Amino acid sequence: MKIAVLTKAIPSYESSIRIDASSKWIDESVVNYVVNESDSYALEEALQIKEKLDNDSEVVVITMGSQDNTSKILKDGLAKGADRAIFIHNEDSNTDPLSIAKLFSENLKDENFDLVFSGLQSDDLGSGQTGVLLGELLGMSTATLGIETDVQDDRIKVKRELESGWFQWVTLPFPASVSIQSGINEPRYPSLKGIMGAKRKESKVIEGELSDTPKQNFINLFIPKTEKATEKIEGDVDSIVAKLIDILKNKLRVIS
């Protein structure tokens, strides 16, 4: 079985996010890129399926974007156990989910993957569409927010997370594209052997060209306005704690 895992480099939580001079994107020079959190769970799920099947299954880790931001995350995927990597090189500052999905589909259709796994959404743009769009473009069945999977011969059972503690099992025949919810498993760390071995694995670079006009465009990024009159409390620990006690006792009266 051939499993694709879509993975994306996104700014780390600690990164400073500044709007650049174009006002359409962020200043990438001050950003530290890491793998999108739910994508790590997607990769782990794929690796566990491969290990469980114990046959000649293959896990291919795939990303798109600029060389600088993404090179680390493919190495990381290979070190964790993916068999090969595909890097779709594209420097366009394109934010349209559909044209991004088309770029994936045009460059991956000949791979004939049985399964495509992706994280449920990226923590940068957060559209949460790529896996489903790609599934449709490749004629696959799709499911989202998978919190448990069970591969059976020519199909995959997926436990979908619904809202407010509800769930549903769906069964998809192959080929299928499934987006993975974080928390589904415990992503592994790369072993030293894995890191050494990664260097010998195939890592293919494809020059990806956008084939048509994006269907939606960023006009400008902006800093959201504060919705409330927020009182800032800062300083040394003692004064912060004194202030908090005053608020809890006298303003909110939640303690006596």
Task: Please say which residue, 94 or 203, places its beta carbon nearer to another protein.
Answer: 94
- CA-to-CA distance for 78 and 63, rounded, in angstroms? 12
- CA-to-CA distance for 46 and 50, rounded, in angstroms? 6
- CA-to-CA distance for 201 and 182, rounded, in angstroms? 27
Q: What does the angle CA 231 – CA 233 – CA 238 come to, to the nearest 5 degrees? A: 150
Interaction of residue 241 with another protein, rule CB under 8 A: yes
Using the contact rule CB under 8 A, the part of the chain among 65-73, 189-197, 198-206, 243-251 near another protein is: 243-251
- CA-to-CA distance for 184 and 119, rounded, in angstroms? 11
Among 144, 151, 198, 201, binds another protein (CB under 8 A): 144
Interaction of residue 238 with another protein, rule CB under 8 A: yes
Task: Please say which residue, 81 or 135, places its beta carbon nearer to another protein.
Answer: 135
Query: Which residues, 177 to 216, sit near another protein by CB under 8 A?
Result: 181-183, 213-216
Interaction of residue 127 with another protein, rule CB under 8 A: yes
Interaction of residue 141 with another protein, rule CB under 8 A: yes
Q: Which two tokens stand for residue 182?
A: 């974080």
Query: Which residues, 83 to 122, sit near another protein by CB under 8 A?
Result: 95-98, 101, 120
- CA-to-CA distance for 176 and 134, rounded, in angstroms? 10
Which among 203, 224, 233, 216 has a CA at the least distance from the CA of 87?
203
User: What residues contact residue 139 under an 8 Å CB cut-off, 6+ apart?
Assistant: 175
Binding mask 63-82 for another protein (x = CB under 8 A): --------------------
- CA-to-CA distance for 244 and 256, rounded, in angstroms? 13
> Least distance from C-beta 185 to another protein, angstroms?
10
Among 9, 35, 64, 132, binds another protein (CB under 8 A): 132
Among 58, 111, 125, 195, binds another protein (CB under 8 A): 125
Interaction of residue 218 with another protein, rule CB under 8 A: yes
Q: Which two tokens stand for residue 210?
A: 């956008």
Query: Which residues, 1 to 20, sit near another protein by CB under 8 A?
Result: 11, 13-14, 16-17, 19
